[in-house]
Amino acid sequence: MAFTRVKDSESFEGAFRRFKKSCEKAGILSEVKKREHFEKPSVRLKKKSISARKRALKKTRRFGET
């Protein structure tokens, strides 16, 4: 869980910026987006394999050019 203590001399905008950054580091928004709609296990597995394939292709392209 992300939380931020507001300092005495800090503006609301500064505190809100720090809170957003802590939420981003904790991965809260990505988790919310992931759970927004139900995904069947077969679809989840398919997406996972597609992303793994893309990562492998990207890795071979990066090391193949040097």
> Using one digit for the tens of pLDDT, what is the confidence trace for 16-39?
999 999 999 999 988 898 889 999
Burial state string for 6-29 with b = 16 or more CB within 10 A and e = fewer than 16: eeeeeeeeeeeebeeeebeeeeee
Q: Are residues 26 and 49 in the same domain?
A: no
Query: What pLDDT is recorded for position 30?
Result: 87
Residue 65 has pLDDT above 70, yes or no: no
Dihedral angle at the C-alpha atoms of 64, 45, 28, 36, nearest 10 degrees?
A: 130
Q: Are residues 31 and 48 in the same domain?
A: no
Q: What is the mean pLDDT of residues 47-51?
A: 96
The residue range of the domain holding 10 is 1-35
Q: Are residues 45 and 28 in the same domain?
A: no
Residue with more model confidence, 10 or 64: 10
Residue 66 has pLDDT above 60, yes or no: no
Q: Are residues 31 and 59 in the same domain?
A: no
SS3 7: coil
Residue 64 has pLDDT above 80, yes or no: no
Q: Using CB atoms within 10 Å of the CB of residue 2, give its burial: 0 to 12 exposed, 13 to 18 middle, 19+ buried.
A: middle
